[in-house]
Structure 1
Amino acid sequence: MTKILLIRHATTDSVGKRLSGRTPGVFLNEEGVAQAQQLAQRLANFPVDALYSSPLERTLQTADFVAQAQQLQTIPMEDFLEINFGEWTNCTFEELSGDQQFQRFNSFRSVTRIPGGELMLEAQARVIAGLQKLCAQHPHGTVAVVSHSDLIKAAVAYYAGVHLDMFQRLEISPASVSIIEVYEETARILLINDTGELKP
């Protein structure tokens, strides 16, 4: 069994306002730094064997706080990179609110391709493939993965057997932790969207 801690990066100035996507140079703001520090403290007594992260700055920055507390090196993995938002990259939610394709993307997520970007099913397959690699590498360990809201929702939905078109019912907050145990024959979801004190 491999225990996986799925961690969303802490807050940036773009959270809730625009789709940063894979835009470089998006860093944690002051609130986000405080969240990441609290996250590291929450996990300090929760032993982690390895720490992986999306290669974007906001995830690596969040992971660094955890890495220091756990005395680990952060390993970037492309599998956990944010969705490719194509033509929507860096658009505000206000700008996208009247876009019919964006509305379809949020209501029929499983089959609606982002213009010039990724299909959610492709992103889900990517993140699950990455997590299963970690299960093979750490068959009896605990690993932490710092990623992005929609990628974490897609992973939780996969292991819960929830259809992608319903995954918006899941809430994944900045600096939150979700925990999944993956066995050879099944998976167990222990925690979703925890932003408080964690106990081993």
Structure 2
Amino acid sequence: MKAKQSMTTFLLIRHGSCFPVGRFLAGRASGVHLDEAGKKEVLFLEESIRGIHLDEIISSPLERTVETAEAVARGRGLEVKIRDEINEVDCGEWTGKSFEELSGNAVWIAFNRFRSAVRIPGGEMMIEVSSRMSRFMEEKRREGKNCVAIVSHGDPIRAVISHCLGLPVDFLTRFEIKTASVSVITLSDYGANLSCLNHTGMFNLAYAS
């Protein structure tokens, strides 16, 4: 008897805008909430994907992602599940530092040129981020879910998209993941398919498949 093919579509959602975006590395620091622009973004996000059936909504443990996930869950009767595997990059000693402060740091410069080979001081390597994200998504696929929303952060989303496309993590800075954006990846027994990247408008899953 032939085994049933397992295929899961993932909506990879970045959290809405918050004050640190573009200013400093919030990393895993607590107390970073959506700002007013972010609250408006996630309301529009919820409206834009309202017609898509979701089996699960899973969030990084940080406040900005949980607030985004709760907006997506509104009216669906789904509980937001929290998983560490989709957390923000551990920025170690760089947590809370402004991009201006880091601009002259030799390790920071090397990290942004060769993300596959440079560890953040006291933190993670990007290949570790890619690995934990991709393992988690494969775990969900094997559970037989049809459509799962993962609410995470810019670099973890870029890292797992790069992995699914067979791109080195060194290339992840070549595409953007905006706040409150949706990217769509389908995983099956035959591999991965990216059907939508960094979408911020009204969304129809049928057009992204």
TM-score by length of 1: 0.97
Structure 1: runs of 5+ lacking an equivalent: none
Cα distance in 2, alignment partners of residues 108 and 177 from structure 1 = 26
Contact 1:9 1:58 in 2 (8 A): yes
Contact 1:44 1:69 (8 Å CA) reproduced: no
- Are 2:127 and 1:98 aligned? no
2:50 maps to 1:41: no
Partner of 2:158: 153
1:191 aligns with 2:165: no
Q: How does 1:117-156 map to 2 (within 5 A)?
A: 117-137=123-143, 139-156=144-161
What value does the CA root-mean-square deviation take over the aligned residues? 0.8
2:120 is matched with which residue? 114
Question: Which aligned segments of 4 or more residues in structure 1 are displaced greater than 4 angstroms?
Answer: none
Q: 1:151-179: per-residue Cα shift (whole Å, max 9, x none)?
A: 00001001111111111011100000000
Displacement of 1:134: 1.0
Cα distance in 2 for partners of 1:60, 1:163 equals: 29
Q: 2:180 is matched with which residue? A: 175
Secondary structure of the corresponding residue to residue 30 of structure 2: coil
- Name the SS for the 1:72 alignment partner: coil
Q: Distance in 2 between matches of 1:26 and 1:141?
A: 32
Counterpart code for 1:72? L
Per the TM alignment, residue 90 of structure 1 is displaced from its structure 2 partner at its CA by 0.7
Question: CA 1:57–1:140 in 2, change beyond 3 Å: closer, same or farther?
Answer: closer
Deviations 1:44-76 (A, max 9, x none): 011111100101000000000001143311000
| In structure 1, distance between residues paired with 2:167 and 2:196 | 16
Percent identity for Structure 1 against Structure 2: 39
Residue matched to 2:3: none
State how far apart, in whole Å, the 1-side matches of 2:27 and 2:201 are: 27
Match of 1:6 in 2: 12
Structure 1 or 2, whichever has the larger Rg, is 2
* 1:172 aligned counterpart, secondary structure: coil
Q: Partners in 2 of 1:91 and 1:196 — Cα distance?
A: 32
* TM-score where L is the length of structure 2: 0.93
Paired with 2:138 and 2:33, the residues of 1 have a C-alpha distance of 28
Equivalenced residues, count: 199
Deviation at 1:140, TM superposition (A): 4.7
Report if the CA contact (8 A) 2:55-2:145 is conserved: no
Q: Using the alignment, how far apart are the partners of 1:73 and 1:136 within structure 2?
A: 21
